[in-house]
Amino acid sequence: MHTASNSKKIPILTNNHFSYTNTLMLKSYFLLSVFFLVVLLTGCKSRDTESPEVIITYPPNNIYIEDTLAIKAEAIDNIKIKRVEFYIDGDLFSTDTTAPYSSIRSANSNSSAHTIFAKAYDNEDNYGLSDVVTVYLLDTTDTESPMIAITTPASGAVVTGTVEVKTETSDNKDVSKVVFYVDGDSMSTSTTKPFTYLWDTMPLPNNSYTILAKAYDPSNNWANSMVTVRVLH
């Protein structure tokens, strides 16, 4: 008589089973390797720290503006310019996001000097600053001429060597410059007080000469003063 056996059957592992298992493991290792490689490369990507460069191409420095102030700038970056901001007297008044970068505004009735600069940003918010440009807005309502007098040398004086020509000026707004002439020839321009000119008489022959000083205000109103002196070496 045969007795039923309670023992479990042991599965038989074939070469195909081992081959399939190894393939799954290899695929898993490959996918994990790709994943970690992507993570590694993404984490190692360096941040852009290079600042853009920007220059104001218009207006030029120390220009007089009467009606409209137009500003133009050029900006470059190693990757891309995000925006260019325009500032006047330190305050942001315009932003441009497309080249050519520019801005325009009406000139106010204000004859004082104003400073302009541009600020360029890239996509990482690195930024670069342009040089500062100074402009003068003409006050078209100002029609009053400045006053000027040559205080030294006196008219009729005899001079030699280097002569310092001195002036006194005044205006209801401001005196922007004084141009000095000798016998009608422009010799020097002074833009800061006190408005003076060093006149070298040594190359000149002994003779009488006329010195004229012409003062301008920011609205281009002007006045002049004149003396005649004799050069005697």
Per-residue model confidence (pLDDT) at position 11? 53
Domain(s) of CATH 2.60.40.10: residues in the chain: 53-137, 147-231
Q: Is the pLDDT of residue 106 over 90?
A: no
Cβ–Cβ < 8 Å for 92, 84: no
Paired sense of beta strands 207-216 and 177-182, if any: antiparallel
Cβ–Cβ < 8 Å for 184, 190: no
Place 113 in a pLDDT band, splitting at 50, 70 and 90: confident
Determine what percent of the chain is predicted with pLDDT higher than 70: 78
Per-residue model confidence (pLDDT) at position 221? 93
Q: Is the pLDDT of residue 25 over 90?
A: no
What value does the mean pLDDT take over residues 183-210?
Answer: 96
What value does the mean pLDDT take over residues 136-144?
Answer: 79
Per-residue model confidence (pLDDT) at position 203? 95
Considering the entire predicted model, what is its pTM?
Answer: 0.52
Per-residue model confidence (pLDDT) at position 131? 96
Per-residue model confidence (pLDDT) at position 13? 47
- Taking CA atoms, 16 is separated from 24, 28, 30, 160, 226, in Å, by 13, 19, 21, 116, 115
Q: Is the pLDDT of residue 44 over 80?
A: no
Average pLDDT, the chain: 86
What is the tens place of the pLDDT at every residue in 157-166? Answer: 999 999 999 9
Per-residue 3-state assignment (H helix, E strand, C coil) for the chain: CCCCCCCCCCCCCCHHHHHHHHHHHHHHHHHHHHHHHHHHHHHHCCCCCCCCEEEEEECCCCEEECCEEEEEEEEECCCCEEEEEEEECCEEEEEECCCCEEEEEECCCCCCEEEEEEEEEECCCCEEECCCEEEEECCCCCCCCCEEEEEECCCCCEECCEEEEEEEEECCCCCCEEEEEECCEEEEEECCCCCEEEEECCCCCCEEEEEEEEEECCCCCEEEEEEEEEECC
Q: Is the pLDDT of residue 38 over 70?
A: no
For domain 147-231, the CATH architecture is Sandwich (2.60)
For domain 53-137, the CATH architecture is Sandwich (2.60)
